[in-house]
Amino acid sequence: MKKDLIKEARRYVDNAEKILRENGRYNQELKQYEDDKYVRVAGHYLWHSVLLALDAVFHVRADRRTRVDINDYYEAVGKRDRKLLALVNSSYNTMHLSMNYDGNSRKKVCDAGFELANDIIDRCAMMVS
């Protein structure tokens, strides 16, 4: 089950990459994507991939009957791995807020989102093994 969540998280990252590659319409001169709709979708997929990877390790959702809050993840991760906590905080700001909500279409922001997602998934995969 845990490794399935890691595999599913990687699939979400692949889907986000595919969405931007096929639909994002990258403007080389401006160094940003022209349609922020696809940046938002990719940001959502990336953030969800992070949550799946965290669930594989920390089981935050398993013990709850109510909606999970980001602070629940911060608390669970902070008790075990402070470096991972810093990555999660950065990913929340980059993927969830900047990409998903704000639709920040700068290529550097999107690339940072992908890099953070992969770093978190890799770190969680090591913890599961």
Q: pLDDT for 68-90, tens place per residue? A: 889 999 999 999 999 999 999 99
Q: State pLDDT tens for residues 15-29.
A: 999 999 999 899 999
Tokens of 8: 């599913």
| Integer angstrom CA distances of residue 49 from 28, 52, 128 | 28, 5, 16
Check which CATH number belongs to the domain holding 57 and give it: 1.20.120.330
Instruction: Note down the domain range covering 27.
Output: 2-128
Tokens of 82: 């402070």
The number of distinct structural domains making up the chain is 1
Q: State pLDDT tens for residues 90-122.
A: 999 999 999 999 999 999 999 999 999 999 999
Question: What are phi and psi for residue 60, nearest 5 degrees?
Answer: -65, -40
Q: pTM score, two decimals? A: 0.92
